[in-house]
A and B are shown apart, each in its own frame.
Chain A
């Protein structure tokens, strides 16, 4: 049985009559010990998906799902107490800006032991000494130099990389089975980013945790995860294994994102930019959400919303999914030709 099963997760904000759909019908299944990436631009619903999973979406946000279960336990019908027992223990999360997520008024030791005081083993809950020893051990595990003196440090005395390590130590304090990392390296320098990613993957490997890595950086995903879901405007547009999904993207959005990377372009040539911006609350298109920005969009794309379809583990939300050579399939050419004369005659009239 899968560790995490989500089916049809939808998160809305604002009024019921005209809601802002932040997450639209997302499915996600994770096995124990798996690294899954979630990639998308800002406003694509990556973080809200994670927050909904943790039960951190507050009123007036509305979370709906057909099914949302962790290790066989239903997350939707969970009481507040039940959720508190689960979150922080079996599911842990680290956030983008470590210095903003640590409490500036308390020392590293206090914040680290706090988790154990609530969620720890019996021995840890009883003995403060035990907790302190464990906190020291955790700091050593996340490779903080001079860990013993760092225990007494306040967050402002830590560098960004160091603070993110403390956050990771807090997250793994109770041996979680699922770790959600929401843009864990975005605020860090490249050399430190490499260290932190290395650390996360090592811990994931040693502890057999499942890791959900949320990021906007395609290259980080390409280097780190086994399976990825690409999100756009709250919807999953493509899911599949890495590196296959980057070698032969089936959705025009994935293709366009990859093409926009400087890495994929000849030096000093013009980059292939995606025109326009991500649709907002009021300009959500009727048909495919990408249709106003898509190179291949035809009439059908502007009219009907495509479904996320395909074999298990490789799904795509497009009427004309791309073939390995990068050309649209599904009768795209015929439909384009059928559409063209109509347009020219309309233009002449």
Chain B
């Protein structure tokens, strides 16, 4: 491993929002992102995993410099982004581009593909119209759109093709980092595979780094090198993908993996009385118990009113008194970083 400075580095990054809870009431404080540290190297994929409300999208807004973090450090190529002035931000922003979840909503329906793709160049560079058009055509070919598509409008495309347009638009400025916020969740399985392939090919050819935000662990497992699991604004576990999937250390990561439907398990079906199989009652009983112990109770708590101590203690099967009081720190454990008081006991 060479000691190259990471492309993007965040240290104790936090973003809090104040929200009104109605007249005559004190304003609430939502700690959407609360002390998150991570780094992304050139050409690498970091996946951020978590349920809705855990701060995934807030993270994306900080990294893309749409918002300024409340506190903490964010460095792009070693340059401080959190406290940069407007001119610096304007210079840095083209290096980080974004692809959104819903390609039906993220493309302007009144603009043709050629206009959509040329727009980033028109705003950020001083290329001539001809040069912009050539660049857009080259990019269309690169992402698998045909030349006759350039005069068409977004509504004339299928979901997968629209996501290709969105990716092409994000790549027009040749960014170093692409933030992909749930890029395949709105797509069908067969189309999802096409878009994932495209993202992997582009990474190989252009050496872009991805910050891949997703709730789908199967997709993350396929595309990422490093994974960070987010729960209520904090990272609870992060580490190399192979390790994290083979031996999830944090109880939340374990629960996430256990909840993810898999083709191979058939766990729930075994629990139901099958009219096709009469025998095997005892085996079925066993499956029921093993299953219920892995399903999490309850739902993620509200970030407006987070629990004391470890945010996960209310749903955690291993929670003890200490978890209710003391906030666990993200500490290294067996090649990973885990925030859990009892990590050694649980994985012992």
Contacts and interface: CB of A to CB of B under 8 A. Distances in A.
A159 B297 CA distance: 14
Interface string B155-199: 000101100000000000000000000000000111111101100
A343 interface: no
B37 to A, nearest CB: 24
Nearest to B241: A267
Contacts of B273: 33, 205
Contacts of A189: 51-52, 215, 300
Contact of B188 (A42, A161, A194, A224): A42
A31 B265 CA distance: 25
A190 B259 contact: yes
A219 B263 contact: yes
Interface in A249-283: 256-258, 260-265, 267-268, 270-275, 277-278
Contact of A260 (B193, B262, B264): B193
Contact of A219 (B200, B201, B262): B262
A306 interface: no
30 contacts: A33-B275, A35-B272, A41-B190, A41-B191, A145-B298, A161-B299, A189-B215, A190-B259, A191-B295, A198-B268, A205-B272, A219-B218, A219-B262, A222-B266, A223-B267, A226-B269, A226-B275, A246-B263, A257-B190, A261-B193, A261-B263, A262-B223, A263-B262, A263-B264, A267-B242, A270-B197, A271-B194, A271-B196, A273-B190, A274-B190
Q: Which 4 residue pairs are nearest across A and B when measured between Cβ atoms?
A: A219-B261, A262-B222, A274-B190, A271-B193
A260 to B, nearest CB: 4
B332 interface: no
B258 to A, nearest CB: 8
Interface of B: 51-52, 158, 160-161, 188-194, 196-197, 200-201, 215, 217-219, 221-223, 241-242, 255-256, 258-269, 271-276, 291-292, 295-300
B269 A271 contact: no
A55 interface: no
Given A241-B276, A261-B218, 14 more contacts: A162-B299, A190-B215, A190-B261, A191-B299, A198-B292, A217-B261, A226-B269, A246-B263, A262-B196, A264-B263, A267-B221, A270-B197, A270-B200, A270-B201
Contacts of A246: 263
Pick from B194, B262, B267, B269 the residue with the most CB of A within 10 Å: B269
